[in-house]
């Protein structure tokens, strides 16, 4: 039995492609934004990776139990002071939707944008406290 050791594939690709342009597929800009969702006793914390955008360009709607977050790309004019040789930054439009449970207090949903992350807090409704009731038999 012969064991052959190879260089890691990552290193081969890194060195081979270092000076080459990687092919960009048609779906490159259609990738969706990454999301983290955390649950606490108070509610759900949604974090969306949305670096390089302006908070005014986000649209967040809650309709019929569906939370929809979208970003519409604004057309940017290139300056005539320079010629762009390579463009890898992509700020394409996107839209993500999430089903929202009835235990979310829709009136108290909050959103803020800091350090390239869109943060949305979906608070849970306060539970109606039910106290035991003594019923007397007559």
Q: Is pTM beyond 0.85 here?
A: no
Distance, in Å, from the CA atom of 94 to the CA atom of 58, rounded to the nearest integer, reads 10
pLDDT digits (tens, 9 = 90+) for 84-113: 888 777 677 889 999 998 889 999 999 999
The CATH fold assigned to 34-73+90-126 is Immunoglobulin-like (2.60.40)
The pLDDT tens digits of the residues spanning 4-23 come to: 444 444 444 444 443 344 34
Show me where the domains of the chain are located. Answer: 34-73+90-126
pLDDT score for 131: 62
At 2, is the pLDDT very low, low, confident or very high (cuts 50, 70, 90)? very low
Q: Is 122 exposed, middle or buried (0-12, 13-18, 19+ CB in 10 A)?
A: buried
């Amino acid at each position: 039995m012969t064991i052959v050791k190879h260089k890691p594939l990552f290193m081969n690709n890194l060195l081979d492609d270092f000076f080459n342009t990687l092919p960009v597929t048609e779906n490159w800009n259609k990738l969706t934004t990454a999301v983290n969702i955390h649950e606490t006793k108070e509610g759900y914390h949604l974090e969306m990776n949305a670096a390089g955008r302006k908070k005014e360009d986000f649209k967040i709607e809650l309709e019929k139990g569906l939370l929809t977050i979208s970003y519409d790309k604004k057309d940017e004019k290139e300056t005539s002071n320079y010629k762009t040789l390579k463009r890898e930054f992509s700020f394409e439009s996107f839209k993500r939707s999430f089903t929202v449970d009835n235990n979310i207090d829709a009136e108290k949903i909050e959103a803020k944008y800091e350090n390239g992350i869109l943060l949305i807090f979906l608070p849970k409704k306060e539970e109606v406290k039910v106290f035991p009731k003594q019923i007397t038999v007559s």
